[in-house]
């Protein structure tokens, strides 16, 4: 496992082969969002998109907690680290990029949640693609209860991801929910024993990394580019992105590997 230089005091970014692991690490504040953390997150997502050898990312929190939401004071205060301050000045809208509101990575993110994933923590989860949650985890969007607004995009995204009545329940009441309830709503993929979220998320990430990266990126982009379109228009976009995949060297290799009963060696 290699720790990447884009890491910050509150965000550790590591690479293991095709997988990047992004760990929020601010134990004194239950991994609440800070400038150091958001700059690290924004840098990690840019790296995941730009690095050809990276196929998937895993987002998690250290010390048995995912993220307790926004720390408004820490988010408004410049970093004590000169290199982080410089990067904050260079990354436009690093808050939104770090929070997965803007410029989503072109590759999938698997979320691994232990403990609290509330307010901004749940907003981060909603920005990921596959979600593993420990059985004693707590999720929730508390903003309405506190006179605030979920600025990470959940007021838009959540009703598109889970049934409307469940989304409004979470958004309007601001109540906390258990991992089991999140699973029943379709908000997460798996509930696992405490302490196992990262290990299971890593297994899923390895499975994703074994899929053809060209196809994975095209599927993700098709979904995102067709949001709000009617089916006929969306299928045109799907064809534009899908036919190059069908005609690619990876498609030929996938067929050969299946016939020869061996793992595929992807070119993209």
pLDDT in tens, 85-110: 999 999 999 999 999 999 999 999 99
Q: What share of the chain is helix, strand, coil (3-state, %, to 5)?
A: 50, 15, 35
Is the pLDDT confidence value at 59 over 70?
A: yes
Catalytic residue among 2, 102, 114, 123: 123
Query: What percent of the chain shows pLDDT beyond 70?
Result: 100
Which backbone phi and psi does 231 adopt, to 5 degrees? -60, -40
Secondary structure letter of residue 70 according to DSSP: B
Q: Is 143 one of the catalytic residues?
A: yes
pLDDT of residue 247: 94
In this structure, are residues 145 and 172 in contact, taking their beta carbons and an 8 Å threshold? no
Is the pLDDT confidence value at 268 over 70?
A: no
What integer best gives the mean pLDDT of the chain? Answer: 96
Q: Where are the beta strands (DSSP E) in 138-226?
A: 138-140, 177-178, 190-192
pLDDT of residue 83: 93
Q: pLDDT by residue (tens digit) across 199-237?
A: 999 999 999 999 999 999 999 999 999 999 999 999 999
Is the pLDDT confidence value at 74 over 90?
A: no
pLDDT of residue 91: 95
Q: pLDDT by residue (tens digit) across 140-166?
A: 999 999 999 999 999 999 999 999 999
Q: pLDDT by residue (tens digit) across 180-203?
A: 999 999 999 999 999 999 999 999
| Higher local confidence (pLDDT), 262 or 268 | 262
Q: Is 123 one of the catalytic residues?
A: yes
Catalytic residue among 14, 143, 203, 260: 143
Query: What percent of the chain shows pLDDT beyond 90?
Result: 95
Check the CA dihedral 224-70-187-41 and report its sign. positive
For residues 221 and 218, give the distance between their C-alpha atoms in angstroms, rounded to a whole number: 5
């Amino acid at each position: 496992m290699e720790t990447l230089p884009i890491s910050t005091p509150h965000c550790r970014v590591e690479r293991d082969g095709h997988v990047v692991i992004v760990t929020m690490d601010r134990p004194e504040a239950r991994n609440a969002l800070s400038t150091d953390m958001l700059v690290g997150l924004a840098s990690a997502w840019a790296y995941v998109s730009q690095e050809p050898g990276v196929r998937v990312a895993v987002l998690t929190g250290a010390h048995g907690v995912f993220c307790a939401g926004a720390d408004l004071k820490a988010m408004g205060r410049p970093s004590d680290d000169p290199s982080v301050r410089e990067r904050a000045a260079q990354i436009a809208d690093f808050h939104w990029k770090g929070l997965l509101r803007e410029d989503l990575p072109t590759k999938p993110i698997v979320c691994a949640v232990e403990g609290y994933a509330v307010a901004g923590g749940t907003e981060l989860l909603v920005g990921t693609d596959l979600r593993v949650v420990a059985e004693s985890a707590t999720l929730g969007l508390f903003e309405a209860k506190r006179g605030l607004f979920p600025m990470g995009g959940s007021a838009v995204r959540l009703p598109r991801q889970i049934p409307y009545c469940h989304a409004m329940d979470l958004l309007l009441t601001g109540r906390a929910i258990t991992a089991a309830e999140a699973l029943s709503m379709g908000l997460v993929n798996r509930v696992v024993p405490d302490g196992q979220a990262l290990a299971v998320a890593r297994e899923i990430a390895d499975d994703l990394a074994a899929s053809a990266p060209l196809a994975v990126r095209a599927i993700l982009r098709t979904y995102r580019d067709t949001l709000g379109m009617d089916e006929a228009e969306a299928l045109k976009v799907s064809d534009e992105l899908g036919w190059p995949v069908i005609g690619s060297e990876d498609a030929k290799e996938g067929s050969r590997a299946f016939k020869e009963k061996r793992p595929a060696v992807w070119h993209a």
